[in-house]
Structure 1
């Protein structure tokens, strides 16, 4: 299944192997339904150096039945006695408000991405000039929803939390042949996600099996697994952040603070720099050391002009970079010396 793009343009950024890691600061519902807070979250994402800020758009009545209880992590992080429906109702932003946030993000020169959680929200987002569209793990098995999202004229980022390999296969099969600009994220949908259950190697399997750009949606605590995910091949990283971890709401406690978000992105950039290129060469910082530490050939004993070079009368030593490199010992053996050498003299040719 090699039908997806190797490099994707999101706004003015290229995403894929050998390009800078694309970092999405996930605001999610951490605005608590307050637009002023939502604007502040965009500012924090900008100041942290994130490439994109992401929000969630949903109509609670279209998303969930009114009697559904909270998920376990939502109960643990938000002690308010209410159903999941009641909680989500207080976290909605309207389509108009979403568009206002998109315009503000554009003014701030940061990409704006949204996750739709229901059909009306998806239909609305398909009319907006977004940088990309994110499909949550909760809709990985909602194949008609994924197919509809593929009609967007922007790249799609698809998370794969809470899913079996066979379900990921089905989702990819639903997209192959109809859509190319896809980024597939490994994700463990637990808050926080345990270290032993992150399975970062899955990203390589995705890349090998589907020929798709891969990334990681990080639900670990603190800076967590993302820097390691970059080393494992992630081209896209997504992480929740908040203005204040003590705020009421389901995601604040598991999110990064503004200071942590900046450190998080800095750490990713460090790992990215460490990864470098797939080219082995002498680096600038090594050049002086190479001269000082690598070995060249010297006379192990006096050698007369015309005498044959042998393994016995040649030895490799550090010479400060002067002379014939030690790797040419075999080539030099059997030749005749063209000058006299005292013991320890550097062999020049």
Structure 2
């Protein structure tokens, strides 16, 4: 596929007012998930951090606890920062209700940043559809095999980001068939928190691009550090998602694999430098090279390309 074909929209998707795909700036998402720990104040602070770093969007996770928590785990007690409570009570403790999401919706708009979420069940899809500013949805890797959820997401008609961690090629292919390929974006991911470098397998970005030539390919990283996420951009990721946190020592299973605000600033800055440096692949002599050429090249050579 030529670059011209790609930039005409064959491999682009809409995210609000933005187009995502080859030939467009990398769409950078700060994955808040449940790192807010049920605190709207922390959610706002994370939105601030993402906006100030230059992210395009923040993402949350939305669950109906009674659906997403196995029944045999509801009454198991655990120690939490808010005292000892049952697991089902804990799941409710870290979920935002409609009033909280309405506040998030307003606050993100004020900060000029998109927001969306990963719904883990069909009622959560219906919940998120109440917010007009949500222009896309995400399928978490754990939900890739949930056909009922995939069909509900497809019915929204919105762009769907499909994460492919913990999934076989056959399972990915089936999910794409259920969702349809017209409105999806595939995200390579390794579902370990944090993920070791030797299991990131970044060359899967190229594998997915070859397997799904009409679908933009992105990267959802769960590793420690920034280098490998930047490598994913150099390898062609059109979409990048990293978990973000106010403090990696905070309570929660995702915190250790998350990026703190100062790291997020560096990540977005370096993504923009990399995408600018990639160029178009056409060899040329730049005007800035003419001075060094005159000074350093002993044999001029042929100046024009042979016809």
Q: Using structure 1 for the length normalisation, give the TM-score.
A: 0.77
Structure 1 residue aligned with 2:187, among 182, 185, 198? Answer: 185
Segments of 5+ residues of structure 1 without an aligned counterpart are 70-74, 296-316, 319-324, 331-349
Q: Which moved more, 1:219-228 or 1:90-99?
A: 90-99
1:108 aligns with 2:104: no
Deviations 1:223-274 (A, max 9, x none): 1411000111100000011112222222222211111111111121222122
* Correspondence list, 1:190-339, <5 A: 190-211=192-213, 212-294=215-297, 317=299, 325-326=301-302
Structure 2 residue aligned with 1:53, among 32, 53, 58? Answer: 58
Residues paired across the two proteins, number: 290
| Aligned equivalents of 1:105, 1:249: Cα separation in 2 | 23
1:19 aligns with 2:21: no
1:158 offset after TM fit, Å? Answer: 0.8
| Aligned equivalents of 2:221, 2:253: Cα separation in 1 | 16
Q: Using structure 2 for the length normalisation, give the TM-score.
A: 0.87
Give structure 1 regions of 4+ aligned residues with deviation exceeding 6 angstroms. Answer: 80-83
Instruction: Tell me if structure 1 keeps the 8 A contact 2:157–2:183.
Output: no
* Correspondence list, 1:109-188, <5 A: 109-129=112-132, 130-176=134-180, 180-188=182-190
Larger RCO of the pair (alpha carbons < 8 Å, separation 6+): 2
| Aligned equivalents of 1:41, 1:271: Cα separation in 2 | 25
Aligned with 1:225: secondary structure? Answer: helix
> Which residue is equivalent to 2:67?
62
Instruction: Tell me if structure 2 keeps the 8 A contact 1:62–1:120.
Output: no
| Aligned equivalents of 2:179, 2:84: Cα separation in 1 | 40
RMSD (Å) for aligned C-alpha atoms? 2.5
Identify the structure with the greater helix proportion: 2
Instruction: Tell me if structure 2 keeps the 8 A contact 1:57–1:95.
Output: no
Segments of 5+ residues of structure 2 without an aligned counterpart are 1-8
| Aligned equivalents of 1:278, 1:286: Cα separation in 2 | 17
